[in-house]
Amino acid sequence: MKPSPLDSKKAEQMRNAYDGTSEYYDSRYRHIQYLKYSILLHQIIKIQKLPQIQLRGLVLDNGGGTGLFLEFLQKLSKFSIRNSEEDEKINQILEFTCYLISKKYRTTPISLIFPPTVICDVSFEMLQIARKFQDSIMLYGLVSCDSAHLPFRPSQFSTITAFTVFQNIENINKAIEESHRVLVDQGCLGISILKKSYNKFRFAEMLGKCFDDIYPVNFEKERGDFQKMIVQNGKYSQFYDLEKVEDFFLTAKKL
């Protein structure tokens, strides 16, 4: 099936750019994207205020590309039971995620419940790679579209995530409105955006036109404490630089 043409020139350019590099995306960006998921996930879980540690479903991973976020969630739920992965960097990021969540919930080990997820993205080729999850109970659907024109009815999703996507969108205000429209009341939006492309406070102001409650995501203190802890216990042969992340993070709730 061929993707349909797009209204926005920038969306068309993005589609071409990501279509052309899709096969290298996971190996280039896996670690850094995992770190972003780690940072945003604990905050989303916290503001949803659910009795159990979970993401409220249905989830929309907006601009979700190759499905790395789903892959991360799968690894995290295995890690929280068995505590081991093949890649040391990934181990450290998963351990950091558990650390962040358990700090908020004051419980270890954590057990996580993940709901089904729809991934949408403008790039057809990025979505083709995400098809590897088609047999996973977590993947509910793959949709090729522009985030500024979401082909969903209102109030369909309880959680929307958008990792390193919004800075690519021509009409950001429209994309924010669309996310708000398809979220249920009390639903939560979690966003990461490259710092070099946007000012955090200006972006929070834009979100504030649609969303009632906007929360900054702070993790610097926890990152320092975690790094100290793993240096002291000598569990890892290498120390992964948790400071590499170049995005800022915001969460918003639809009241």
Ligand X SMILES: C[S@@+](CC[C@H](N)C(=O)[O-])C[C@H]1O[C@@H](n2cnc3c(N)ncnc32)[C@H](O)[C@@H]1O
Q: Are 121 and 64 in contact (CB under 8 A)?
A: yes
Angle, helix 220-233 to helix 88-105, in steps of 10 degrees: 120
Position 187 contacts ligand X (CB under 6 A): no
Could you tell me the smallest distance in angstroms from the CB atom of residue 125 to ligand X?
Answer: 9
Q: Would you count residue 123 as binding ligand X (CB under 6 A)?
A: yes
Binding of residue 14 to ligand X (CB under 6 A) = yes
- C-alpha pair distances (Å), 89 with each of 49, 138, 238, 242: 30, 24, 8, 10
What is the distance between the alpha carbons of residues 63 and 44, in angstroms, rounded to a whole number? 18
Place of tokens 């939560």: 188
Residues 196-235 that bind ligand X (CB under 6 A): none
Nearer to ligand X, 163 or 248 (CB): 163
**In this chain, which stretch among 105-113, 164-172, 212-220, 247-255 interacts with ligand X, using CB under 6 A?**
164-172
Residue of the chain from 73, 160, 165, 182 that contacts ligand X (CB under 6 A):
165
**In the complex, minimum distance from the CB of residue 47 to ligand X, in angstroms, rounded to a whole number:** 20
Q: In whole angstroms, how far apart are CA 115 and each of 56, 80, 139, 183?
A: 7, 16, 9, 15
For ligand X, the closer CB: 3 or 116: 3
With CB under 6 A as the contact rule, the residue among 43, 168, 179, 251 that binds ligand X is: 168
Order of strands, sheet of 157-163, starting from the edge strand that comes earlier in the sequence: 139-144, 117-121, 59-62, 157-163, 183-194, 247-253, 213-216
Q: Is 146 in the site for ligand X (CB under 6 A)?
A: yes
Q: How far is the CB of 22 from ligand X (least distance, A)?
A: 8
Part in contact with ligand X (CB under 6 A); list of ranges 130-138, 162-170, 197-205, 242-250: 162-170
Judge contact between 247 and 191, C-beta under 8 A: no
d(C-alpha 28, C-alpha 242), whole Å: 16
Part in contact with ligand X (CB under 6 A); list of ranges 82-90, 93-101, 157-165, 212-220: 157-165
Joined together, the tokens standing for residue 165 give 């996507």
Q: Is 240 in the site for ligand X (CB under 6 A)?
A: no
Query: Is 190 a residue that touches ligand X (CB under 6 A)?
Result: no
How many CA atoms lie less than 13 Å away from 161 in the CB half-sphere? Answer: 28
Is 163 a residue that touches ligand X (CB under 6 A)?
A: yes
The mark string for 37-66 relative to ligand X (x by CB under 6 A, - otherwise) is --------------------------xxx-
Q: Are 58 and 98 in contact (CB under 8 A)?
A: no
Assess 122 for contact with ligand X (CB under 6 A).
Answer: yes
Chain residues that interact with ligand X, rule: CB under 6 A: 11, 14, 18, 33, 63-65, 68-69, 121-123, 126, 146-147, 163-165, 168-169
